[in-house]
Amino acid sequence: MRKPLYGRWLVTLSAALALLFPLFAAPASAAGTPPRPAPAKNGTPPPSPLTATAKDGTPHVRRSPLDVKDRAPLPSSRDALRRDYDRPADTAEHPRPSAKARTPAAACNVADFTGRSGSALVQQITSSTTDCVNTLFDLTGGDAYGAFREAKMTTVAYALRDNGLRYAGDNSAGTAQLVLYLRAGYYVQWYHPADVGTYGSSLATAIQAALDAFFANPASSTVSDANGEILAEAVTLIDSSQQNARYLYVVKRLLNGYNSSYDASWWMLNAVNNVYTVLFRGHQLPAFVTAVQADRGVLDTLDAFAAGHLALLGTDRAYLASNAGRELGRFLQHAALQPTVRPLARHLLGLSSIKGVTAPLWVGVAEMTDSYDKANCSYYGTCDLRNRLAVEVLPITYTCGSSIRIRAQDMTSAQLSASCSSLTNQDAYFHNLVKDGGRPVAGDGNTTIEVVVFDSSGDYQTYAGVMFGIDTDNGGMYLEGDPTAAGNQPRFIAYEAEWLRPDFQIWNLNHEYTHYLDGRFDMYGDFDAGIGTPTVWWIEGFAEYVSYSYRKVTYDAAITEAAKRTYALSTLWDTTYSHDTTRIYRWGYLAVRYMFERHPDDVTTVLGSYRTGAWNTARSFLTGTIGARYDSDWYSWLASCAAGSCSGGGGGGGGTECTGTDTRRLDRNCRRGGLSATTGNYAYLYIYLPAGTSRLTITAAGGTGNADLYYNSASWATTSAYSQRSTASGNTESLVIDNPPAGYNYISLYAAQAFTGAAVTTEY
C-alpha cells in the first residue's frame, strides 16, 4: 500500500464491523480544530484524519493486503477503521460475529422504505433483516430523500423510543433494525445533505427520547451477545446523532461496568470500545466540551479505567486500556481542562513505559501530550518524542547497497542480509517485467529508500503511528512523499510476521518494495496525480503480482475468486480505492496477470502513458481501444486459472522463446526454457551484446530443484569464475549488469541441487 507523505502515500485492506480497534487518530493541528467527521457507517467510525481523503489536504492512503491467509492473525480488537479494507483473522477466543456489511438480502427493495411512512414504515424496518437495512447506507438522490427526510427519521426515532421502553435485551422486537436505520439516515444526510434535506429540532427531540428510553431500560446493561450487538450500535448512534454531550453518563456506565464477564462476548467488548468514538469525536461539538468542563467525572473515569486495567496490556484486549489513556490525554487540547488532565496524564505515564508490555498506554498518552501540551513536555517526560522513540525502538541501521537502508527494531545480521538480498534481487525481476530500461520517470529523485521494520504487528501498531504519522490498521505502508522535492525520503514501514516464528518474514516486504519501484519507474509525478484517473487495478494488482510471482507463491485467494467470475475485465479498469479489498487486490492481481500473459504489448502501451503522466491517454486506451474486447477470452482464462494454471505464482518476466538454432544462445528480450542439470553441473548459456548496452537484466525462474545464476563477461560462468551471481533458494534468481562489455557475455545455471524445467530470460 502506498501513501503520499505530503505527496504520494500507499498501504493494504471488506467492511469493518465496529471500532474494536486502537484509536490511532491524528491530533487536531495547531492551526485549529478539524471539521467534525461524518457519522459512522455500518458500525464503523468514518476514517480518522490519518485515513481520510480529506478536502483540507489530508493525504490519501493505500494499504498492504490483509488477507486472512496472508496476514497476521491479529486479535479481533484490531478491526479496520474503514469498511473497504479487509480485517485480519479472528482469534479463537473471540470469534467474530458476521459483519454488518454483509451481502444484501435478495428480498430487500429500496421502494419498501421510500414508499412507506408512519407505522407502515416502522413495520417494514422491524420485519426486514439487518442485512437489508444495512444496504440503505448507500442511498443517494431521490431514494435518500424518500427514506431519510426528517419527518421519516422522526417517526422512526419515536418508534425506537417505544421499542426501548419494552426492550428485552435481545432483538426479538427488531430493535437493531431501528437503530441501524437511524444510523443509516444520519450517515446519508451527512454525505448528501442536498439530497436528504436538513435535520432540525424535531428530530433532535425524537432521537433524545429514543436514546433516553433505550439506555434507561435495565436490559440495555445485560452482558450478553444478544444485547451487546444492539448496545454497540446504540452507542455509535449517540455519535451519529451528535448527542455526545447528553450521554456522557453512558460512557461512564460502560467503562465503570466493564469486568471479566464482558470478555466472553466480542459484542460487549465492542460496545465498551465504542464509547471512545463518542469521546474522540465529541471534541468537535462545543456542547460536549462544555459538559465535560461542568462535570469532569469522565476524566476520572478514563484515568481509573486505564490504571485499573493494566493487566489488559499484553492481551488481545489491550486496546481498551490504551484507548482510555489516549482519550484522556486528548482533553489536553482544551485549556480550561488542562489543570485537571495534566496530573492524570502524568499518572498514567508513570504507570507505563516506552517499551515492553505497557508501551501502548505510554505511547498513547505521550502522543497526546506531544500534540496538545508540548510546551510542558518536561513535566510529562515526553520531550522530543519522535526522536526519542526512534532511538529507543529502532536502534539498528543496516546499509543494503547504495539504494536501500534498513532501520529495524530487532533483526539479526543473517535476517538483515537475507532481507537485503530479497529486495536487491527483486530489482532485476521488476525491470524485466516492465521493460523500463532501468530509467526512472522524469523528475523522480527517490534514489534511496528507507525500510523500517518493527519486531511485530503489535509493535507496529504501538509505535508507527506516532513516529511516522500513519494509520496502522494494515499490513504495512509505503510513503513516497514528493519524488521531485530535494531531500525527500521515501520509506516503507513494515513489521515481522511474528505468527510465522521461528521462520522469519517481513510482512508484505516485496509488495511494498514493488510500490517503491513502480512509483519510481512507472508512475509519473506524485500519488494524487496517479490516481486522478482509475489506476488502482495496476497499482495494487501489479504489487500483488510481483510479490507472488517473484516469490513463486500461489495466490490461493485470487484463484478462488477466479472461479467465481465476478468481474468482467472491462469492469476492473474502473477500480478505485473506494472498492472492497477483494476487488482491489485479488481481482487486481488477476487482471494484471492476465494482461502480462495474454497481452504484454498492451501493458507496454499503458505503461508508456503512465510514465509520462498521460493518464487520460492510458484511460482511453483501456476503456476505449480495449474496452470489453478481451472479456470473452478473460472468462476463459479465469476458468483455466481456477483449474490450476495459476498455481506456482506465475510471472518470470514473460518473453518469447529465443529463436536461434544454438539452444545455448540468448538474445534481446527472450528466454530459454526447459533447462536442467544434475547436482554439481551446469546449464551453459551466452549472449552477444552490441556496443553501448547500458544494462543487461538476467532472470531465472520456474521448474523444480535449486539452480543458482552466474554471470561472467570474459569466459564461461562457473562457481569459481564469475563476476556476479544470485544464489537464493529455489530457481528464482535475478541479476542486473550495468554497462556490460560489447561482444560475448556468459551465463550459467549451476545445480546446487538437481533442477529441471527452469528458464532464463535476458533483456537489454
Q: State how many domains the chain has.
A: 4
In a domain, 2, yes or no: no
Q: Are strands 682-689 and 743-763 parallel, antiparallel or unpaired?
A: antiparallel
Q: Contact at 8 Å (CB) between 281 and 233?
A: no
Same domain as 664, residue 600: no
512 is catalytic: yes
Residue 99 has pLDDT above 90, yes or no: no
How much is the average pLDDT of 682-687?
A: 96
The tally of CA atoms less than 13 A away on the side-chain side of residue 663 is 6
Express each pLDDT in 732-760 by its tens digit. 787 889 899 999 999 999 999 999 888 89
Same domain as 215, residue 107: yes
- Give me the pLDDT at residue 645, please: 76
Residue 652 has pLDDT above 80, yes or no: no
Lowest-confidence segment of 3-17, 614-628, 700-714 by average pLDDT: 3-17
Average pLDDT, the chain: 85
- Give me the pLDDT at residue 55, please: 24
Q: pLDDT: is 36 or 253 the higher one?
A: 253
Same domain as 263, residue 117: yes
In a domain, 326, yes or no: yes
Cell output for 567: 468481474
Reply yes or no: is the peptide bond before residue 395 cis, omega within 30 of 0. no
Residue 103 has pLDDT above 70, yes or no: no
Same domain as 750, residue 676: yes
Same domain as 258, residue 118: yes
Torsion of CA 517, 520, 525, 526, to 10 degrees: 50
- Give me the pLDDT at residue 188, please: 96
Q: Contact at 8 Å (CB) between 226 and 168?
A: no
In a domain, 677, yes or no: yes
Task: Round to whole Å and give the CA distance between 727 and 749.
Answer: 10
How much is the average pLDDT of 162-188?
A: 97
Cell output for 554: 500461489
Q: What is the CATH number of the domain that holds 714?
A: 2.60.120.380
Same domain as 706, residue 619: no
Same domain as 120, residue 201: yes
pLDDT level of residue 764 (50, 70, 90 thresholds): confident
Task: Round to whole Å and give the CA distance between 699 and 687.
Answer: 13
- Give me the pLDDT at residue 1, please: 58
pLDDT level of residue 702 (50, 70, 90 thresholds): confident
pLDDT level of residue 730 (50, 70, 90 thresholds): confident
Same domain as 643, residue 745: no
How much is the average pLDDT of 258-285?
A: 95
In a domain, 421, yes or no: no
Which of 150, 229, 512, 763 is the catalytic position?
512
Cell output for 737: 549488469
**What does pTM read for this prediction?**
0.73
How much is the average pLDDT of 190-204?
A: 96
- Give me the pLDDT at residue 655, please: 52
CA distances from 128 to 97, 100, 149, 328 (A): 19, 14, 20, 40
Express each pLDDT in 334-371 by its tens digit. 999 999 999 999 999 999 999 999 999 999 999 999 99
- Give me the pLDDT at residue 650, please: 63
